[in-house]
Amino acid sequence: MSDVSSIPPRPGLPAGAAAERRDAARNRERLLAAARELIADCGAEGLTMDRLAEHAGVGKGTVFRRFGSRAGLMLTLLSESEADFQSRFMFGPPPLGPGASGLERLIAFGVERISYVMEFGDLVLAAEHASRRRFEAPAAVLWHRHIEILLREEGFGPDPWLMAGSLAATLDPERLLSLVKVHGISPDRLTASWRDLVTRVVRGA
Amino acid sequence: MSDVSSIPPRPGLPAGAAAERRDAARNRERLLAAARELIADCGAEGLTMDRLAEHAGVGKGTVFRRFGSRAGLMLTLLSESEADFQSRFMFGPPPLGPGASGLERLIAFGVERISYVMEFGDLVLAAEHASRRRFEAPAAVLWHRHIEILLREEGFGPDPWLMAGSLAATLDPERLLSLVKVHGISPDRLTASWRDLVTRVVRGA
DNA sequence: ATAATAAGCGGACCGCAGTCCGTTTAGATG
DNA sequence: CATCTAAACGGACTGCGGTCCGCTTATTAT
């Protein structure tokens, strides 16, 4: 299992970088616990950085020093389940993991992603928001590459990289949540449409 | 030509609603002129509601009374070209307008949309942002329906409405701009990929 | 012309994310 | 133990989008 999605204490530094100070580690745990509490109470939208700082009993500056931004905090909160998802589609059992055909894995990927968004919806949304170029987020880049590889495995023709991006765009959390919450579309119908889409795209080259 | 995309002075009221007061109309023109100036000088991101109010010589409350929100203002600034685009794909000459096959019109739609985003990129982005459910915007609903109709015309099978949404998601301005500006993808390559996608989707049902 | 009234107006105000900088403290060194 | 330094800290501060509410004014009816 790689470290692709880990959010290190001080991102960007090489692996052997100086360890985090005790008080800093303690404050991070405090903040994460407080954040989970607040989200349980008020939902993800109800979590503001000021309230979090107050609730955790630290200064506001500390919150931003730890997580960089609100999106960074949300990303950290998601990192565990995110890493789990990633390891499942990269190393887990078929049809999601290796062992099945490219098409089967593509279908399974969409299905898993949809149910992931259904489960962590508002958190995912909050993690994407603000950070502007959400397409450069490490996780997004990884999915993109994953889809591209599966397309190539199926012998997909002209421009697998762009097509992978188009397919990924189809799974945009904001769209999926709007379909389910505003239009009352069932997740099953979403997965059926995804299956149809990737089948058509892959079929014939 | 319908009124589908018009942004009336006081949206939501029936057609015969009371006319706008003279001073209000004058202020709207002032604000729009000032907004265009500011955007020309500082770009769309550089336009803040406070600066706009000051530059136009009105109170901040007036700005929000006129346009509701920053996104509403951007939408108003776009409404002319937006209406033009809409009338072209609904009533204009083929292959964009009626007269060509569904597939040809789908391809032409994507091509036009891509070049529209290339031209008005940051404005479009600012118009979408904030308003949260960008998928319910009248223009977005119209495109969605348009694509759905073209799919049906091609005899598209199981779930034309959802598939139309997926195809539309592929043309998301934020994605397109990120591809061009961050990754240096040429618009031509984008349109080629769109053509490939819709062709595969339509082909065979 | 005058009065009545609803629309329009301005800018103080709010809550938010994010920054800045003077102060405190963990932990390494001698 | 005393000292030193870089990391961590806190909270005042900024700029933003958006709201509120008491005052002003265009318009219409008399």
DSSP A13: S
Round to a whole number and report the distance in Å from the CA of B117 to the C1' of D3: 62
CA distance A188 to chain B (A): 12
Question: For B146-174, what is the mean pLDDT?
Answer: 96
Q: Give residue A164's pLDDT.
A: 98
Per-residue CB contacts under 7 A with strand C, chain A residues 177-196: none
Locate the chain B residue with the closest alpha carbon to A183: B136
Residues in B closer than 8 angstroms to A163, CB to CB, are: 193, 196-197
Q: Give residue A99's pLDDT.
A: 94
The share of chain B scoring above pLDDT 70, in percent, equals 89
Which is higher by pLDDT, B5 or A127? A127
Q: Give residue B18's pLDDT.
A: 67
Range with lowest mean pLDDT among B14-23, B38-47, B127-136, B152-161: B14-23
Q: Give residue B20's pLDDT.
A: 83
Is pLDDT of B85 > 60?
Answer: yes
Point out the residue among A178, A196, A200 whose CB comes nearest to the CB of B135: A178
Tell if B203 CB is < 7 Å from nucleic strand D: no
Q: Is A25 helix (H, G, I), strand (E, B) or coil?
A: helix
pLDDT tens digits, B24-40? 999 999 999 999 999 99
Q: Do A178 and B203 touch (CB under 8 A)?
A: no
Question: For B54-59, what is the mean pLDDT?
Answer: 95
Residues in B closer than 8 angstroms to A147, CB to CB, are: none
Round to a whole number and report the distance in Å from the CA of B81 to the C1' of C6: 34
Mean per-residue pLDDT over chain B, rounded: 89
Is pLDDT of B6 > 50?
Answer: no
- Please state, in angstroms and rounded to a whole number, the distance separating the CA atoms of residues B10 and B170: 32
Q: Give residue A129's pLDDT.
A: 77
Per-residue CB contacts under 7 A with strand C, chain B residues 60-89: 60-62, 64-66
Q: Give residue A130's pLDDT.
A: 64
By the 8 A CB rule, do B124 and B85 touch? Answer: no
pLDDT tens digits, B123-143? 998 888 765 678 888 899 999
Q: Give residue A18's pLDDT.
A: 67
Q: Do B203 and A201 touch (CB under 8 A)?
A: no
- The DSSP-derived string for chain B is ---TT---SSTTS-TTPPPPPHHHHHHHHHHHHHHHHHHHHH-GGG--HHHHHHHHTS-HHHHHHHHSSHHHHHHHHHHHHHHHHHHHHHHS-TTTSBTB-HHHHHHHHHHHHHHHHHHHHHHHHHHHSSSS-GGGSHHHHHHHHHHHHHHHHTT--S-HHHHHHHHHHHT-HHHHHHHHHTT---HHHHHHHHHHHHHHHHS--
Per-residue CB contacts under 7 A with strand D, chain B residues 40-69: 47-51, 60-61, 64, 68-69
Question: For B56-61, what is the mean pLDDT?
Answer: 95
Give the predicted TM-score (pTM) of the model. Answer: 0.88
Cβ of residue B184 closer than 8 Å to a chain A Cβ: no
Q: Give residue A20's pLDDT.
A: 84
pLDDT tens by residue, chain A, 205 residues: 333 333 344 444 444 456 789 999 999 999 999 999 999 999 999 999 999 999 999 999 999 999 999 999 999 999 999 999 999 999 999 999 999 999 999 999 999 999 999 999 889 988 987 656 788 888 999 999 999 999 999 999 889 999 999 999 999 999 999 999 999 999 999 999 999 999 999 987 6
Q: Give residue B131's pLDDT.
A: 59
Cβ of residue A203 closer than 8 Å to a chain B Cβ: yes
Cβ of residue B189 closer than 8 Å to a chain A Cβ: yes
Helices (H) and strands (E) in chain A, counts: 9, 0
Model confidence at B191, pLDDT cuts 50, 70, 90, reads: very high
Cβ of residue A141 closer than 8 Å to a chain B Cβ: no
Place of tokens 């009336």: B8
Question: For B139-157, what is the mean pLDDT?
Answer: 95
Q: Give residue A132's pLDDT.
A: 65
Q: Give residue B2's pLDDT.
A: 36
Q: Give residue B10's pLDDT.
A: 44
Nucleotide with smallest C1' distance to residue A24 CA: D8
Question: For B90-97, what is the mean pLDDT?
Answer: 95
Q: Give residue A10's pLDDT.
A: 43
Nucleotide with smallest C1' distance to residue B70 CA: D17
Locate the chain B residue with the closest alpha carbon to A165: B170
Round to a whole number and report the distance in Å from the CA of B92 to the C1' of D24: 48
Question: For B45-69, what is the mean pLDDT?
Answer: 95
Question: For B36-54, what is the mean pLDDT?
Answer: 95
Is pLDDT of B5 > 60?
Answer: no
